Structure 1
Amino acid sequence: MENLFPSLNEILYSYPMKDSSLIPLLQKTQEKYGYISLQTVEQIAEYLKITENQVFGVASFYSQFKFVEPGKCTVKVCMGTACHVRGSQNILNEFKRWLKINPQETTEDKMFTLETVNCVGACALGPIVIFDEDYQGKMKIKNVEELIQKYRCECEESNEDHS
């Protein structure tokens, strides 16, 4: 098996080869790579001497684990009750229209991942949209396109700085 994630070994070897290491290994893997790939599932299974189905079964049980590489910027639309009654579904629909993706998908250019969240605990500011860690309160449909352009530019600049 080709090791497409060579630095995963560093994570693997920091945990004992026991079943109880599976969830912490999945968490550290996602923290490092942003998602759990098929290749990392294979490597974790091989290390723990369990089947890939066992690794995937545990990982897919928990909603925190992602199996698709995320975009450079994650857009989260709060769908909690307070945000919902203030129009978060319409905001979500506008993001879907502009980004041409559904929730839990990533744009073709790998720039944005769209997600929904149940409640972010900032109900007085609803509807809330979070771009990475930047909270946008009192969100309006008319601001969606402008925010997408703003964060596209910021993400591109950030990538140029790291090149």
Structure 2
Amino acid sequence: MGTTVLEEVVRNYRGQPEKLIAALLALQRHYGYLPEPALRVISQELRVPLSKIYGVATFYAQFRLQPRGKHTVCVCLGTACHVRGSEQIFHQLRRELGIEAGETTTDGRFTLEVVSCVGACSMAPIMMIDEDLHGRLDADKALALLTQYRD
């Protein structure tokens, strides 16, 4: 039987508290987030207090403590997008998905996020679904795009 990712991380980083971030990145690459039971094992094996692990995981934005949806819907609320109606797009998506920013739908299909700027202001308002950038949107176009990701 093969080695689990958690066993491999433990083997690679056991007793090396200075390698905490590398261990957390390896776990998140596999699970998509940092499951609490795995963090308890890492705490013991790397000899790092669980409180410190949570401090690191909540300090760095790339770490997630909750599972993410299959698709991440990200709405830009920066100045150019806001002026062109991104807030209405965001509110329509919230209603449609039944979640708030930072939450995931109960079926695990979508996670909704907001950002301050995507860096494509000339295409405002902007929404990203996964790595796909969609611009010059309104609420109806945003909802239509969402249906393409409902696999």
Q: Tell me what 1:91 maps to.
A: 89
Q: Tell me what 2:37 maps to.
A: 39
CA contact (8 A) 2:14 2:45 kept: no
What are the Cα deviations for residues 97-119 of structure 1, in whole angstroms up to 9, with x where unaligned?
00000011000111101011222
Q: Tell me what 1:10 maps to.
A: 8
Q: Would you say 1:30 and 2:28 are equivalent positions?
A: yes
- Structure 1 residue 16: Cα displacement: 5.8
Could you tell me how far apart the structure 1 residues matched to 2:145 and 2:55 are? 37
Could you tell me how far apart the structure 2 residues matched to 1:81 and 1:17 are? 47
Runs of 4+, deviation exceeding 6 Å = none
Identity between Structure 1 and Structure 2 (%): 41
Amino acid at match of 1:143: K
Amino acid at match of 1:54: K
Could you tell me how far apart the structure 2 residues matched to 1:19 and 1:119 are? 35
Amino acid at match of 1:72: K
Residue of structure 2 aligned with 1:110, choices 108, 111, 127:
108
CA contact (8 A) 2:98 2:105 kept: yes
TM-score, structure 2 normalization: 0.90
Equivalence map 1:39-78=2 (5 Å): 39-78=37-76
Q: Tell me what 1:21 maps to.
A: 19
- Structure 1 residue 96: Cα displacement: 0.2
The number of aligned residues is 149
User: Structure 2, unaligned stretches of length 5 or more?
Assistant: none
Could you tell me how far apart the structure 1 residues matched to 2:69 and 2:60 are? 20
CA-atom RMSD, angstroms?
1.7
Could you tell me how far apart the structure 1 residues matched to 2:9 and 2:116 are? 31
Amino acid at match of 2:137: M
User: Structure 1, unaligned stretches of length 5 or more?
Assistant: 154-163
Q: 1:14 to 1:80 in 2, by over 3 A?
A: farther
| Bigger Cα displacement from structure 2, 16-25 vs 100-109 | 16-25
| Bigger Cα displacement from structure 2, 40-49 vs 68-77 | 40-49
